[in-house]
Amino acid sequence: MAGALLTKWAKLIMITFLLFIAQLIISKLSWYVSAAFDLSAIDRDGTFLQVTVHHIVQMAVALIMMLILHRSKNITGFKLAPSYDKRGVKYTLLFCTILLAYYSVVYTVGHFTQSIAVYEYELNRTNVLGTLGFQLLLSGPSEEILFRALPIVLYQQILNTENKADRAIAVGLSALLFGAGHINVFQFNIPWFQVCYAAVLGTVYGYTFIKTNSIIYPMVQHSLSNVISVGGCYLYMMFLR
């Protein structure tokens, strides 16, 4: 029994390490590809097109990895197909309501304490529509495929997600990977609030993925959370700053 438990944790640690390295390489590669294009004619301030290309490449590589795992190891369960689930709709509406309340408090308090960090670029039509469009259409799908569907399904090869403890381990490890993905490893810079905030949201997305048996709802939650965050800052800059 003890030997089996030790083997399980050894496998989990190994998979987590390999996933961290893979995510690091994919992110770096995606930024190199995006930097190869001169997009200034359309995106003068560099607010959305480079990060758009980065996320497209990131998502494509993650999908290729899933295809390789499926064909070589017969690993399935990534749950990419759209599906309707009442719990998914309920979780998403509740999540957005809580997030709207949270940011309402943040920006209200920030207005009186002058503690809100605002964007440096001009809030023109191109920048606003481009950034919000990216957040709504691409940020969720790209990051949830790489940071949620891929790791959790790999953890499920070792863990029994019908078991609450194993489910918590799978969600927790994927959330830690998501938080770690916000660390600038090459510059040894750890934005602690951003890392912890991402890990908390990653936990919500992970449980939604497992309970709804679909990656679509975490994608929607992720995209809407980014739109609420960025859009909230735009409203603050326009009306409260």
Residue 83 Cα distances to 43, 86, 87, 217, angstroms = 35, 10, 11, 9
Position 188 scores a pLDDT of: 75
- Note the helical H segments in 114-215: 125-134, 140-144, 150-156, 164-180, 192-212
**Rounded to whole angstroms, how far apart are CA atoms 64 and 58?**
10
Q: Is the pLDDT of residue 29 over 80?
A: yes
For the chain, the structural domain boundaries read: 2-240
- How far is 173 from 179, CA to CA, in rounded Å? 10
pLDDT number for residue 1? 57
Q: What is the pLDDT of residues 131-153, one digit of tens each?
A: 999 999 999 999 999 999 999 99
Instruction: Summarize pLDDT for 151-208 with one digit per residue, the tens.
Output: 999 999 999 878 899 999 999 999 999 999 988 877 778 889 999 999 999 999 999 9
Q: Residue 48 gets which letter from DSSP?
A: S
Give tens-digit pLDDT for 60-85: 999 999 999 999 999 988 999 888 99
